[in-house]
Every structure is written in structure tokens, then in C-alpha cells.
Amino acid sequence: MLILKNETIQVEIDKGELVGLLVEDHQYIHQKGAPGWQHSDTEMFPIIGPTDEAGYRVHVPRGNAILDQHGHLREMEYELVEQSNTSAIFRKTYTKGTVLGNSKFPEKSTAQRLLWPFDFQFEKCFQLTKEALLIEFTVAGERDMPFMLGYHPAFKLHSVNPRIVEKNREVDLQEISDAGNKALELPDCEHLVLRDKRDLEISTSGFGQFMLWTQVPNMLCIEPITFYPYSLPQSELHEGFMHLEGEEMKFVVTLKPQQPKS
């Protein structure tokens, strides 16, 4: 377990996964083993959403990629490349054409092996400032590589009526739950607030929108995404790709907890 810490915030990271964001005794991150989801965060890349209805094939300029739900990164392990008392950098590297096993097979998928026809390097950098945790994602690889990117953190809920406040809109947990597995889309959104026992401000750069998902009252996934995958049939998911500009592109998520009162 890697710990980043300042005067008010403690961050816990397990092999690149954010498993704790603690202010005094208030835990903002969903804990593994609690009802809702078996993880606390993950990344969705180079695809967001399911691909089963398209036979796990996604069209790219070099032919069909073989991708299961949310893509390759969840099948790869992070390497810790740098750390300090307030920062840590993790990296995953993929060589085009490398066959990956699919952890969803055979119980939840018929795709036994996964394949992507582009080289890429993916970095996840945690930086703890005085007031917030910055999580920066760097996508590097072959110029014009198509991809989607989503960050999938899960937050622990403490009150009976938590809600999301975004611009002039409020969303309660029931509305999010009613959206089901497709998740509730928040388009054109780069900043929102989770109103709970203690508020959490979430702002982003590079993503442009969110989707919200839960099936339980104790947890909420607030997911910055570059594309909402349920706006297209699975056979047309390639229409939602963005393309790598130059050697790398950066995306940032900032988690700013409510500071304790002095």
C-alpha cells in the first residue's frame, strides 16, 4: 500500500488503484468488499462500454480490434515508476498485436482473448496538493491512434439523500439507479459536486462529460468520459473515437474534499 499525505488529506493507492481518500475520519472512496462493486477505481481504455453485441469486434483503421467491455487496461498491471511523499506515477505499456487474456471469460464473456493493433503507453499520476488530489492521465502512442478514455472511480456514500449538483441541475440517487447499467449521462460537464455528509468537488480537463452509475445506496460511481457509449449501437462505437494528437495527450481529474472546519 502506497500512502500520500499532507496536513489534512491521506491518499491510499494499491498497485495504481485509488483505494482511499481520507479527511479526518471521513472516507470518500468506496471500499472493496462493501456492497456495490469489487473495485474502487479503474480506467476504461481504449473503449468505453460493452462490445458483446458486436461480437467483441470494434472497427479501427487497421482492421477489427478485439475488445471486451471497457477495453484493455483492466487486463494489465501497473508499474510504479516514481514516487514521493505527495506524488506517485504508474505506467502500463502495450505492444501492438499482443494477445491478452480476458478475465471476464468464460463466466461473463465469450471472448477468450483480446487484441489491439496499436502501441500505447498509459500513465496515471497522483499529485496531492494542499487542498485536493489531482489524477493526471497521459496517453502516448502512435499518432492518430483511435481511443476513448474514461475514469471509473467509486465513492462511498454516508447520507440517506446524497445527490449530484451540476450547473443548475440536481440528480438524486434514485434517478441514477433508474438509468440501470447504461448509466446516467451528464453531457457537456466538467465540474460537479457530490453532496453528501461531506461535499466532494470533482472537476476535469479533457474529458468533457460524465456518466453516473450505481445499484446500491452506499456507493456511487462518478465517471469522467470522452464519449458516452450508449448513444450509438455497439457496431458503430468506432464513431465515438477521438484520435491521438502528436505524441501524447493529457487528461486531468481533480478531487477536492470539503476541508474540516478550523
- For the record, the C-alpha cell of 261 comes out as 472546519
Evaluate whether residue 235 is within a structural domain. Answer: yes
Q: Give 12-21 contacts, CB < 8 A, sequence gap 24+.
A: 13/88, 13/126, 15/77, 15/78, 15/90, 16/77, 16/78, 16/80, 16/90, 16/124, 17/41, 17/42, 18/126, 18/135, 18/153, 21/133, 21/255, 21/257
Q: Is residue 262 situated within a structural domain?
A: no
| 201-233 tens-digit pLDDT | 999 999 999 999 999 999 999 999 999 999 999
- Residue 239's closest CA among 74, 47, 102? 47
Residue 102, domain member (yes or no): yes
Segment 8-35, tens digit of pLDDT: 999 999 999 999 999 999 999 999 989 9
* Residue-range definition of the domain harbouring residue 105: 2-257
Q: Total structural domains in the chain?
A: 1
Residue 69 has pLDDT above 70, yes or no: yes
Q: What is the CATH number of the domain that holds 41?
A: 2.70.98.10
